[in-house]
Amino acid sequence: MTSLDTVWVFGDQLNRAIGALSVARPTTHRVLLITAADKIASRPWHPARVALYTRAIEAFASELRDAGFNVDHRHAASMRDGLTAHRAEFSPASVFVTEPNSFTARRLVTELGCEVVESNQFLCHPTVFNEWAGSRKGFKMEDFYRWQRKRLGYLMDGDAPAGGEWNFDEQNRERPPKEGRDRWPVPVDIWATTRDEALQRLEFFVTRVLPMFGPHEDAMLADNWHLAHSVLSPYLNLGLLLPAEVCDRVEAEYRAGRVPINSAEGFIRQVIGWREYVWNFYWRHMPDYASLNHLDARMDLPPVFTGDAPTQMRCVSSILDDVRARGWVHHIPRLMVLGNLALIAGVNPQQFTRWMWDSFVDAAEWVMVPNVIGMSLHADGGKMASKPYAAGGAYIDRMSDYCKDCSFDRTKRVGEDACPFTTLYWDFLLRHADRFVKNPRMSTQVRAAQKLGDAEGVRHRASDVLRRLHLGQI
């Protein structure tokens, strides 16, 4: 009897349409899945992430068995040990593997002599991205996004963008709704672990939530952890959903007249624009990119993030409660509250990256390294974003209801009750004035900071805030 070849599937490739598994058949291929103890024990992962990851792998193994595949779901000390034991037991002529989604895993499968098959889990493979990027040193995500729209055909009317505009950002920055909060449909507060369940979540989003997504995609509410967001990122990152099928459904709802263009465009931009840009940015700049610290940020991760200290900052407290409850908040709390605090406080970027990676169910190295090093903390010196996403309490007040009933006053930058975000924002501009005064997107704010009559008071208050933040006393 001829031995079967093996398709080794990683835990974030859980879809029969991905890469090597797409051409596998029960009569010709055995499937290997490995749950590695050292991976699970390597970091203090959020419990929800561990549960989602392990249960999704188990569910996929069952799905493959139901389809007739011989599945070896092997629990091993490490990925290397799992493959070694599999080869010893089954002697496959070849072990095929789809390009893994991390730099380290790709190096591992090469060392182990696997036959590596090109991945189709994303819509723009790095080889295609590199052809587009060429030798240019910098390029905007918006340029990439428009190229993606034309290349893939999403929301295009011939050669023109649907609705006459490439993006509708100006319509998608509304403040949180003050009335009718009961109209926001609540997704099931348990993570889906199978493809069928993930497809149900997709349908829930496009039919119930997507029409309201655009205007409120940047808004935050203390009593609503999801607002108008899809909450689909964990399923895309595990492979339970594929980006094309998600975008196809969104476009179908728009073409049927059930979703406004600003909501459809805003969501598709997140998927084919930002998500694919981050994915390719990771492969273009790793591994050295992860160690960058352009702003020389040295503060150790404050205990408020690790749960070792409470905080009177209502926005931070509320968001961290949501993170601890389910391992997920949407992109604005991540960027403009948690990341913003780490940026203006000068938190070490590698420590903050590790915390974000550990804390979210949809985290992966390719997601967190570019988003934290480049987007949140500007630790790459502007390779990804042309300006740091620093903001004071005024922004948080405008886009949320967190400032209501907070112990701090977002309008003050000095004094005991001054909002730490407001104080640290102005102090950040003063500390880094020489770096950003010539930045066309920052120069106005920097010059305003330099003209403050209470600059010394800001520095004094900032020093106290940083000391108390380090001690877990604010």
- DSSP string computed for 99-140: --SSHHHHHHHHHTT-EEE---SSSS-HHHHHHHHTT-S---
Look over the chain and give the mean of its residue pLDDT values, rounded to a whole number. Answer: 95
Average pLDDT over residues 160-178: 89
Give me 368's structure tokens: 């967190």
Tell me the per-residue pLDDT of 212-256, one tens digit each, with 9 for 90 and over.
Answer: 999 999 999 998 888 889 999 999 999 999 999 999 999 999 999
Domains of the chain plus CATH, in order, are 5-117 (3.40.50.620), 126-285 (1.25.40.80), 290-471 (1.10.579.10)
Question: Is the predicted pLDDT of residue 183 greater than 60, yes or no?
Answer: yes
> How far apart, in whole angstroms, are the C-alpha atoms of residue 371 and residue 358?
14
Joined tokens for residue 309: 């200290």
| Number of Cβ atoms within 10 Å of the Cβ of 391 | 21
How far from the centroid of its chain's Cα atoms is residue 332's Cα?
11
Q: Which range (15-19, 86-90, 140-144, 464-468) has the least confidence?
A: 140-144
Residue with tokens 């070792």: 308
**Backbone Cα Rg of the chain:** 23
Percentage of the chain surpassing pLDDT 70?
99
Q: CA-CA distance, 32 to 15, in Å (whole number)? A: 14
How large is the average pLDDT for residues 4-16?
A: 98
Say what percent of the chain tops pLDDT 90: 91
pLDDT of 300 above 80: yes
Q: What pLDDT, in 10s, does the model give residues 95-120? A: 999 999 999 999 999 999 999 999 99
pLDDT score of 181 = 62
| 3-class DSSP state of 395 | helix
Rounded Cα distance between 190 and 201, Å, is 11
What single-letter amino acid sits at 470? H
392 Cβ contact list (under 8 Å, min separation 6): 410, 413, 419, 421, 422, 424, 425, 426
pLDDT in tens, 392-438: 999 999 999 999 999 999 999 999 999 999 999 999 999 999 999 99
Per-residue pLDDT averaged across 293-299, rounded? Answer: 98
DSSP string covering 270-315, please?
Answer: IIIIIIHHHHHHHHHHTTGGGG--TT---BPPPHHHHTSS--S-HH
Does 2 have pLDDT greater than 70? no
pLDDT of residue 1: 45
CA gap 184, 250 in Å, rounded: 18
422 SS3 class: helix
Does the pLDDT of residue 180 top 60, yes or no? Answer: no
Half-sphere exposure of 372 (CA within 13 A, CB side): 29
Choice among 55-64, 133-142, 337-346 with the minimum mean pLDDT? 133-142
Question: Residues 462, 467, 472, 474: is their CA dihedral positive or negative?
Answer: negative
Instruction: Taking residues 46-57, report their average pLDDT.
Output: 97
Given this model, what pLDDT does residue 179 score? Answer: 65
Lowest-pLDDT range of 189-198, 221-230, 354-363, 369-378: 221-230
Angle between helices 276-285 and 141-152 (to 10 degrees): 120
Q: What is the DSSP letter of 347?
A: B
